[in-house]
Chain A
Amino acid sequence: FPPAFQAIPRNPIVLDLAYNTIDFPSLENRMKKDKKGFISRLWR
């Protein structure tokens, strides 16, 4: 005692790959139009 460790088979892992395909629509065209201009002004 204690007994020696032993390897046991386990169930293989299954991932929820379908979850990764669920994504938000692009909102680029729905936001304020002048946003890009504003940011590029900041970086000038």
Chain B
Amino acid sequence: MAPKPKEKPKPSQSQASKPVIAVEDLFTTLNRHIQRSEYEQAVKVAEQVLSIVSNDEDAIRCKIVALIKADSIDEALSTIESSRRLPIDFSFFKAYCFYRQNKLNEALASLEGQEGSSAAMLLQSQILFRLGKLDASLDIYQKLQKSKIESLEINLIAGLLSAGRASEVQGVMEAL
């Protein structure tokens, strides 16, 4: 899709209200791309918002998430890196990107300080699994069992089998 040509504000019109309208239009377009899973286009529209309002948190978040969903992990990381001066915490996204690049220790380091959230716990467990720290990985899944996370049992059972704890699988299945 060709980017929407930006209208130059006419001198007679209010200079202040024009960008607001443009940004609202862009967010409407951005939302449509997200709904349709058109992530490359979503990145472009988020960038158009950022060309008007360079620090817009929603636009930066949308750009990073769209890049991740478009499998552009390197670009997602460089966007996170260039947003470092902003007071927005992107450490979970950063950790996830490092995980996708198999930079597991960097990923773990980025997760430090947010152990509370279930998203961070899931990612931490997946990183530990790849590092071969199976028991630590399983401990997290067992803590998360109460949170009713969809498909969690798949990873829990995979972990038990990999850790040579197949005898526990039956019990876990029955407890589900």
**CB within 8 Å of B: which residues of A?**
11-25, 27, 30-33, 35
Interchain Cβ contacts under 8 Å between A and B, 13 examples:
A11-B162, A12-B157, A12-B161, A14-B126, A14-B129, A17-B151, A17-B155, A22-B69, A25-B57, A25-B62, A27-B31, A32-B25, A35-B28
Interface residues contributed by chain B, number (CB under 8 Å): 36
B-side interface mostly: helix
- Decide yes or no: A14 and B96 within 8 Å by CB, A27-B31, A30-B24, A32-B25 being known contacts: no
**Which partner residue on chain A sits nearest B157 by CB separation?**
A12
Cα separation A19 to B97 with both chains bound (whole Å): 10
**CB within 8 Å of A: which residues of B?**
23-25, 27-28, 30-31, 34, 57-58, 61-62, 65-66, 68-69, 93, 96, 99, 118-119, 122-123, 126, 129, 149-152, 154-155, 157-159, 161-162
Instruction: Please tell me if the beta carbons of A21 and B24 are within 8 angstroms of each other in the complex.
Output: no
